[in-house]
Amino acid sequence: MKRIYRHYSDTEVTQLSTYVKCPYCGEEWLEADKDECGTTYVLTCENEDCEKEFEMHFDAS
């Protein structure tokens, strides 16, 4: 069986995380793969005491 070797120099960041902040309670966390321009995502607050849904609109600028 053949074997290939890969190192850290062969890696690439394929997932972009976005800092989000709940507009209700101010909780902040990172959302992965929520970076499609012009897209509105529906997120749920990660704070157990809040857990409200809100929209996050992602755009280029």
CB of 57 to Zn ion, least distance (A): 17
Q: Which two tokens stand for residue 31?
A: 């959302």
> Is 35 or 50 the residue whose CB approaches Zn ion more closely?
50
| Backbone phi, psi, residue 8, to 5° | -60, -30
Site map for Zn ion, 1-40, x if CB under 5 A?
---------------------x-xx-x-------------
Other beta carbons within 10 Å of 45: 20
Q: Under the criterion CB under 5 A, does residue 46 sit at the interface with Zn ion?
A: no
Residues composing the chain: 61
